[in-house]
Amino acid sequence: MAYLDHAATTPMLPEAVAVMASLLPTVGNASSLHAAGRRARRVVEESREQLASALGARPSEVVLTSSGTEADNLAVKGLYWARRREDPRRRRVLVSAVEHHAVLDAAAWLAEHEGAVVEVLPVDAVGRVDLAAVAAVISADPASVALVSVMWANNEVGTVQPVSEVVALAAEHGIPVHADAVQAPAQVPVAFTGSGLAAMTVTAHKLGGPIGAGALLLGRGVPLAPLLHGGGQERDVRSGTLDTPAVAAFATAASLAVERRPERAARLAALRDDLVRRAIEQVPDAMVNGDPSPAGRLPGIAHLSFPGCDGDSLLMLLDARGIECSTGSACSAGVPRPSHVLLAMGIPEDRARGSLRFSLGHTSTQADVDEAVAALAPVVERARRAATPASARPAVAVPAGA
């Protein structure tokens, strides 16, 4: 098996597994005052300090959650409610067109149920938010903007966003900015405190930690209305009993991911570039999506379109050969749709439907890339035969014996 879907989730680091396993048999609610509770609280607070150090934040800025999705919802809805409470005119929510659905759907829910006016910020052909458009949209009526949300790096095509520039534009008018940074810390430098962001989302399972642990980094003094009510944990903005073993494993994974990032990023970029180069040799009309500049994209993501193919067919044919990747497309109510990210970049729908995302991570090897490349040409040829009349099929160089 060649696992090339690390952007969806990456295997846990052995060190994180060991930490989590060591704590699973222990008892103690971190909110309890007795000895077992204090022991759990100590683990949580030491883990919070470790997370803060890895992410360039203060421990008091780390609000622990159950996932990146929860953190995104808490940021978008919580900032909106808090800002409107201060000034009812603040109804506008500005989000980039390529955000994760955890942000886009949260904003849409606010529009449907809470009177928000959602405005989608356009992106260019590589998927990077248009700063001139951001400036124009904000300046049209800055007093009415509740928040801006622009992700640190895109989860489908890997394009890194100009977060600092967006923050600067918003800061002129005192507007808080949230960034979904779920894909970023293991691959590019991320520091919250110096970013100027009001809030930033991270999650454990993209860093080599467990599924079911995440965090919202929230600036000190930033008002935020809670989604969950109960015990008042996590600065009274995220009630709920904390999963101490998962939090500790999250902190271990984040610390190691950041420590190992320089070497890993260089290794993944080399593997990615090799995959892209050889994929185009095998399928000459394949097209690469995202920023062509290495400095402008995540090192572990290669996103390609294969004309004349259906992405789901490619995915299943590769899966049958033991190669696991992603189409990058979203499904709503069981109806497949082309990726909203690719459409926002101006890519035609038929090309968007025939796209695959190969994402690499800490367990990726040259053998994984070799297996994917070896399978690609015959899989594309078969997918085209299924989708296109013989007279209209582009030529594909199928290796002998494939």
Report pLDDT digits (tens) over 335-351: 578 999 999 999 999 99
Q: What share of the chain is helix, strand, coil (3-state, %, to 5)?
A: 45, 15, 40
Strand boundaries in 72-230, DSSP class E: 92-96, 117-121, 145-149, 177-180, 199-203, 214-218
Residue type, 339: S
Q: Does domain 14-259 have CATH number 3.40.50.720?
A: no
Indicate if the pLDDT at residue 307 is higher than 70.
yes
Q: What is the pLDDT of residue 335?
A: 53
Q: Kindly state the average pLDDT of the residues 294-317.
A: 95
The CA distance from 369 to 28, in Å, is: 45
Yes or no: say if 220 and 60 are a contact pair by the CB < 8 Å rule. Answer: yes
pLDDT at 337: 81
pLDDT (average), residues 22-49: 97
| Measured distance CA(399)–CA(141) in Å, rounded | 59
CATH architecture of 261-392: Alpha-Beta Complex (3.90)
Q: List, as one string, the DSSP characters of 88-119.
A: TT--EEEEETT--HHHHHHHHHHHHHS--EEE
> How far is Cα 167 from Cα 190, in angstroms, rounded to an integer?
15
Query: How much is the average pLDDT of 230-256?
Result: 97
> What is the pLDDT averaged over residues 246-272?
98
Q: What is the arithmetic mean of pLDDT over 269-280?
A: 98
- Mean pLDDT for 149-176 is 98
Residue 396 has pLDDT above 60, yes or no: no
d(C-alpha 146, C-alpha 79), whole Å: 7
pLDDT (average), residues 182-194: 96
Q: What is the pTM of this model?
A: 0.93
Confidence of residue 395 (pLDDT cuts 50, 70, 90): low
| Residue from 51, 60, 85 nearest 221 by CA | 60
If one counts every other C-beta atom within 10 angstroms of the C-beta of residue 370, the result is 14
State the pLDDT confidence band at 329, using cuts at 50, 70 and 90. very low
Is pLDDT above 90 for 332? no
Q: What is the pLDDT of residue 390?
A: 47
Taking the C-alpha atoms of residue 282 and residue 367, their distance in angstroms, rounded to an integer, is 17
Mean pLDDT value of segment 267-280: 98
Question: Cβ neighbours of residue 81 under 8 Å, at least 6 residues apart?
Answer: 114, 225
Q: What is the mean pLDDT of residues 351-376?
A: 97
Residues of CATH 3.90.1150.10 domain(s) within the chain? Answer: 261-392
pLDDT class of 294 with cuts at 50, 70, 90: confident
Average pLDDT, rounded, for the chain: 94
Residue 295: pLDDT band (50, 70, 90) is confident
pLDDT higher than threshold 80 for residue 6: yes
Question: H-helix or E-strand containing 331?
Answer: strand 330-332
Q: What is the pLDDT of residues 72-120, one digit of tens each?
A: 999 999 999 999 999 999 999 999 999 999 999 999 999 999 999 999 9
Residue 53: how many CB atoms within 10 A of its CB? 15
Return residue ranges of the chain for CATH 3.40.640.10. 14-259
Q: In 197-307, which ranges are continuous DSSP H helix?
A: 244-259, 261-282
- 76's CB contacts (< 8 A; 6+ apart) are 93, 95, 103, 106, 107, 110, 147, 149, 178
Is the pLDDT reported for residue 70 higher than 80? yes
Confidence bin at 331 (pLDDT 50/70/90)? very low
Residues 6+ apart with CB under 8 A from 316: none
User: With bands split at pLDDT 50, 70 and 90, how would you rate the model's confidence at 387?
Assistant: confident
Residue 398: per-residue pLDDT: 46
Tell me the catalytic residues: 331
pLDDT of 3 strictly over 90: yes
